[in-house]
Amino acid sequence: DDMIDTGGTLLKAVDMLVRHKVKKVYIGATHPIFSGNAIEELENSKVDEIVVVDTIPLNKECKSDKIKVLSIASLLAKTIKKVYYCKSVSELFKGENLV
């Protein structure tokens, strides 16, 4: 997903997957907002792992063993440099350059 705010929509999808006998649930999202009681709800859900990127800082209250944060700092720096020098950024998204 693009972001996890309260997690309500996401948890409905997780419940549907569990009802259909899915054994493991992994979630990927770009922006980890986690407002309200999202962390508590996700902790108590059948979600196995949530992978997010560091587009925004993760609050200290949002710590969970289920959450893995990947850094995109290097990719953003390379992208900014390419744009600054009027070069193509498409090569950053090929093969071994993928995050």
What is the count of structural domains for the chain?
Answer: 1
pLDDT of residue 91: 86
pLDDT digits (tens, 9 = 90+) for 16-47: 999 999 999 999 999 999 999 999 999 999 99
- Global pTM exceeds 0.75: yes
Inside any domain, residue 14: yes
pLDDT of residue 60: 82
Distances (CA, A) of 8 to 11, 19, 62, 77, 80: 5, 17, 16, 33, 34
| Res. 95: pLDDT tops 80 | no
CA distance 17 to 6: 19
CA distance 70 to 66: 13
Inside any domain, residue 84: no
Q: Are 37 and 65 in contact (CB under 8 A)?
A: no
Range of 65's domain? Answer: 3-71
Provide mean pLDDT across the span 60-86: 93
Inside any domain, residue 66: yes
